[in-house]
Amino acid sequence: MPHVVNLDLRSADFRQHPAMEDADPHWLLGAIYGRPLLKTKLRQMRPDLQVLAMRDDPAQEQLLETMVDVLDLRDWPEPKTVSERFKAVRLILRMTLDVSEGREPPTWRTA
Question: pLDDT tens digit string along 37-92?
Answer: 999 998 898 888 888 778 888 888 899 999 999 999 999 999 999 999 999 999 99
- Say what the pTM is: 0.74
Any residues with CB less than 8 A from the CB of 54 and at least 6 apart, and which?
none
CA distances, 55 to each of 3, 18, 42 (Å): 53, 28, 15
Q: Which amino acid is at 91?
A: L
Instruction: List the chain domain ranges.
Output: 12-100
Q: With contact defined as beta carbons under 8 Å apart, do 76 and 111 qualify?
A: no
Judged against a pLDDT cut of 70, whether residue 14 lies above it is answered with no
Q: Closest Cα partner for 10 from 76, 77, 74, 79?
A: 74
pLDDT at 53: 77
Confidence band (pLDDT; 50, 70, 90) for 19?
Answer: very low
